Structure 1
């Protein structure tokens, strides 16, 4: 009875190291791990020990016999990753485990290594974890919101609750004695990069790629245009987007771009609100969806079906949870691409697309239509969006779709960080393996490091940030050991005083746990995992109710600082 990895895979590699027979691939030391859509369990080599189930942070692994109907396609998907061979031949040929990359070792014993991590999403929390694997390191994590964990909280669709379970790992990291949260503190506003360096050996930025790439066509300034990323943030109750206007009075929504975020938005906009009411969706978004007139979401892609940007696991999840259709012309495109495709993942995607029904004139229930070879030309409408005009890609043929809402999902861009160089073309901070470099001289910027999307661009998945952070932290520690990082000029205890003098509403770990407990309690009353606060003032007020730590603990914390 082999175990199976399902679409909730976060690809952080924990299961690989837990497996005693090395049957989960690709492993972090193998080519392609960083870009793999998911990991796969070899059904022949699996010995049914269940070690991977316990190690998985998002509950994505289950015995084959306990899968739900929606998860059954993953049996074949896991098996297809491995070549056919005789039943008594297991791969790989040795029982050697994937090597566990050694934690960087701090060797300077005179002073503790102190690091400021800016950003509390996956890259920041994985970086803190790597730093705190040993003694002699202190980490202060900063985030401009009163709540931590970045896109896991605000960017993962609410109907993917298992994926959000990775926060359990992050909570454990934040409970370590030499870890401190400074939430509701914005670096660049409440404290500068230079000031952080006065209190730390290094500053590690893990701020992601917060900006959407914009569609440059006429009419994008009209009301009724927006981005899929902003809409997901609104759905999740992100305080910066809680007041976003998402007009659902028209029967059709068009989403330009067909990556995973586009699929998330389409799935939520066509989902049964009663099912969403059992998730942590924001109350405002749920109310809007209950009154929605949307009957169809068209996901429009510029290229052909074989070039679809969504991952295979997300496509399987979408087709099992929603009514997904193609028009007749796009069905023909799928068949053409399937006849010439050779890449196994692409073939699997096309085989699923080939089985989708042809769109009827009227939808019996809200549906999603995948459309191809549509290049946006202009947005139609006078006072607000009334439709979108496309050109059939590579031709002058005009294709017009009526729509009351246009969302773009065509990628992300990093934003400049005050005090650091920025590569505007690549939209990242220029770096060598996480060390920030001055592009004019090619020299490393002392004490400045990056990890996550601001380091490598918007690629990979939640778990990809683990190996990314490990690389940066390893180089940071090497620099510290080599004496390349200046010791902080200010006493550690002065940092807290400085920050609170400028931001009295700073939220610490105890304040976050008070917010967390209150949200869970509100959710329990409604039969939901949590009911989020969407207003910063409300969050700060709840955080202020957190009990003060005992005197002995406060004294110890002062000594550690």
Structure 2
């Protein structure tokens, strides 16, 4: 059996792992458009959360098993086409993630100073696609719109002492920008109340111990309607209950107790962004106070007609990611996911696309934690193997190996051995300056590193 997996983030590796367990001797080719694997583990997990990156040891074990080949710097739709794969493999699994970020969609959203939190995260994590971005951190106040873990990551990175970040694998260009940052206060705002916030207690608790940073909450925003109290008292409300305990501690801090030179974070609730104001750049965010409506665990928010200005110089929209349509694959633009049934890709009429499957965020949307992708990929692989057993997968046509095709097209791709040497190079380079690693970001840096460690023999194209 021969399978192609597009994408080498968590869902791609978990899919490979699931197939390896069920089909001894399976041949798996995994394609990654960047020079490094691991997807959001490398480019989404905050650099000061090093323990979360330890899952890459599992991925390395999967990559090291016989029969799996990794092709770095190979992009679907550019270097290879879908028909190139369907001709050579029994099945193709799309694990391309959610590559785009959502905007606030309010007037003034296009002003300088209005940013996507996801872009900021990718930028400080050294993602090649976001290296060129610049973030104006010359103002004292920044606002993060959203109540998820990404919002807390952005706030923490903006406020954390740079000397503590300097030992992590944060990208050097980001570290330099943060050294010169004038941001002293970050407001994290959301449309709903503290009982509905989506950040985890572990992430929130970091602000209790963050050196030189005071966490604050306003008493009048720590109120709960009947539905919210029901949510907090139910078994499903354990995380929210623990969050509220912490937020109550933060509310004991008076705003005037924070010295002018001290850094602080303020959690704000039941506030909806209305528009961004300013002449040539963002100068303030207009917010409307909201009220919760609906039954427990299904509460939405509605505007109350009470508006006010929040002066700021930078606004980060942390309102989610969205998938990008893969070439020639049925796509639900509204959900920003591939059309599928249990991972089996179908067209608008529900007709199965033979041999095509999907997993991860491109399948279910940007939800869950890294481990959520394992169950998701297990489901997709079970669907794939059921189709194989039922005879629904045709035999791939005989022809040249995909590596030969890529060589003929002049694609400068990498194998996993090349990545392993780049990985060692990053760690060794970082160690010289006391960092966990110094990430290679741009293509010319990758080429230079390959020449430095072993010359051109590291690339599969030679």
State TM-score, norm by structure 1: 0.74
The one of 170, 174, 180 equivalent to 2:63 is 174
The one of 477, 499, 523 equivalent to 2:385 is 477
Partner of 1:431: 340
Q: How many angstroms apart in 1 are the aligned matches of 2:436 and 2:455?
A: 27
Partner of 1:513: 420
Partner of 1:36: none
Deviation sequence 1:222-260 (CA, Å, 0-9, x none): 111111111011111111111211111000111111100
User: Does 2:218 align with 1:327?
Assistant: yes
The one of 292, 297, 304 equivalent to 1:395 is 304
Partner of 1:232: 121
Deviation sequence 1:300-331 (CA, Å, 0-9, x none): 10111111121222222333335321134224
Aligned to 2:337, what secondary structure does the other structure show? coil
Partner of 1:45: none
1:545: how far off? 5.7
Q: How many angstroms apart in 1 are the aligned matches of 2:208 and 2:321?
A: 26
Aligned to 2:130, what secondary structure does the other structure show? coil
Aligned to 2:34, what secondary structure does the other structure show? coil
Aligned to 2:332, what secondary structure does the other structure show? coil
Deviation sequence 1:384-403 (CA, Å, 0-9, x none): 11111111122111121111
Gaps of 5+ in 1: 1-112, 555-561
Query: Does the Cα contact within 8 Å between 1:387 and 1:404 map onto a contact in 2?
Result: yes
User: Does 2:16 align with 1:128?
Assistant: yes
1:548: how far off? 9.1
1:287: how far off? 1.0
Change (3 A) 1:547 1:480: farther
Q: How many angstroms apart in 2 are the aligned matches of 1:210 and 1:475?
A: 25
Query: Does the Cα contact within 8 Å between 1:188 and 1:418 map onto a contact in 2?
Result: yes
User: Does 2:84 align with 1:195?
Assistant: yes
1:212: how far off? 1.4
Q: How many angstroms apart in 1 are the aligned matches of 2:341 and 2:184?
A: 48
Partner of 1:119: 7
Deviation sequence 1:398-451 (CA, Å, 0-9, x none): 1211111111011121111111111122211111111111222x2211010000
1:216: how far off? 1.2
Relative to its length, the structure with more strand (as a share) is 2
Query: Does the Cα contact within 8 Å between 2:15 and 2:377 map onto a contact in 1?
Result: yes
Gaps of 5+ in 2: 291-302
Partner of 1:381: 278
Partner of 1:360: 255
Q: How many angstroms apart in 1 are the aligned matches of 2:113 and 2:80?
A: 37
Higher relative contact order (CA 8 A, sep 6+): 2
Query: Does the Cα contact within 8 Å between 2:194 and 2:222 map onto a contact in 1?
Result: no
Q: How many angstroms apart in 1 are the aligned matches of 2:99 and 2:172?
A: 24
Deviation sequence 1:78-128 (CA, Å, 0-9, x none): xxxxxxxxxxxxxxxxxxxxxxxxxxxxxxxxxxx1111001000001111
Any runs of at least 4 consecutive aligned residues in structure 1 with deviations exceeding 6 A, and if so which? none
Aligned to 1:166, what secondary structure does the other structure show? helix
Q: How many angstroms apart in 1 are the aligned matches of 2:226 and 2:124?
A: 36
Q: How many angstroms apart in 1 are the aligned matches of 2:439 and 2:247?
A: 36
CA root-mean-square deviation: 2.2
Partner of 1:422: 331
The one of 132, 135, 138 equivalent to 1:243 is 132
Q: How many angstroms apart in 1 are the aligned matches of 2:59 and 2:139?
A: 40
Query: Does the Cα contact within 8 Å between 1:507 and 1:543 map onto a contact in 2?
Result: no
Partner of 2:357: 449
Aligned to 1:323, what secondary structure does the other structure show? strand
Aligned length: 437
Instruction: List aligned pairs for 1:17-96, cutoff 5 A.
Output: none
1:535: how far off? 0.9
Change (3 A) 1:287 1:140: same
User: Does 2:359 align with 1:458?
Assistant: no
1:211: how far off? 1.4
Aligned to 2:5, what secondary structure does the other structure show? strand
Q: How many angstroms apart in 1 are the aligned matches of 2:191 and 2:66?
A: 51
Q: How many angstroms apart in 1 are the aligned matches of 2:455 and 2:65?
A: 17
Partner of 2:299: none
Change (3 A) 1:336 1:488: closer
The one of 410, 413, 417 equivalent to 2:322 is 413
Query: Does the Cα contact within 8 Å between 2:425 and 2:453 map onto a contact in 1?
Result: no
Aligned to 1:397, what secondary structure does the other structure show? strand
